[in-house]
Amino acid sequence: MIISRVMTKNPIFIRPDMTVNEARSLMDKEKIGHLPVLDKNNSLTGLVTRKDLLKAGPSAATSLDMYEISYLLSKMTVKEVMEKSVITVKEDEVVEEAARIMADRGVGCLPVMRGSLLVGIITDTDLFRVFVNAFGARHPGVRITCSIQEKPGQLAKLSQAIAEKGGNLVAFVSSEGDDLSRRRATLKISRLSRADAETLVKALPDVELEDIREL
């Protein structure tokens, strides 16, 4: 799956001269936590997050009173608090690469670019939706986690056995096993009872059942 299919298109953006208070109000109104910052030429020049805005202002040890603090915040602009070195991705990048970048760099969103043009934004919430869909979490059925020997044809045998019993494979996710000789597979199956699904998996050679439950 590529980013352009799951990103938020045409995201709300702000200008560098917007005040911190205005940016906060916009985030509250739109119920968002990230705002790309574009200059007058519509080039991406920064990114501001709710965390950036919360950190803006005097420290807790300040001697300023609330009116002085309010005045300072009314004059402080986004340019003063935004992240200027913005990590971006291209719209044709794959979703898992965006997830890897966000996890490795500790960021909650990535502006999505088409050349120098901002066309979207992908956030951790967007990736959670991908995760939910990949595991078939919104579909009722039997969820199975099993360990499969790492050799050609094993996954085909498993899916064929399900089909022969009249089951429908709703979701399938494969990941590394506990060692290099095995892979861990998580499946969601409909049209089979838990008992039938368990019997089916246990009858397959080189497959070890780790968990099964109806969801």
Measured CA to CA, the distance from residue 103 to residue 112 in angstroms comes to 17
Per-residue pLDDT of 147-170, as tens digits, reads: 999 989 998 999 999 999 999 999
Say if CB 165 and CB 158 are below 8 A apart. no
Q: Say whether both 151 and 110 belong to one domain.
A: no
Q: Say whether both 52 and 108 belong to one domain.
A: yes
Per-residue pLDDT of 14-45, as tens digits, reads: 999 999 989 999 999 999 999 999 999 999 99
Q: Say whether both 96 and 150 belong to one domain.
A: no
Q: Say whether both 127 and 156 belong to one domain.
A: no
Q: Say whether both 120 and 143 belong to one domain.
A: no
Contacts of 91 (CB under 8 A, 6+ apart): 2, 3, 4, 7, 112, 113, 114, 119, 120
Q: How many domains does the chain have?
A: 2
**pLDDT at residue 8, rounded to an integer:** 95
Q: Say whether both 148 and 191 belong to one domain.
A: yes
Which domain CATH number covers 104? 3.10.580.10
Last residue of a domain, one of 90, 114, 131: 131
- Largest alpha-carbon pair distance within the chain? 75
Last residue of a domain, one of 99, 131, 163: 131
Q: Say whether both 151 and 67 belong to one domain.
A: no
Beta strand 44-49 pairing with 34-38: antiparallel
Q: Say whether both 155 and 181 belong to one domain.
A: yes
Q: What is the mean pLDDT of the chain?
A: 92
Per-residue pLDDT of 86-132, as tens digits, reads: 999 999 999 999 999 999 999 999 999 999 999 999 999 999 999 99
Q: Say whether both 31 and 127 belong to one domain.
A: yes
Q: Say whether both 146 and 112 belong to one domain.
A: no
Neighbours of 141 (CB within 10 A): 21
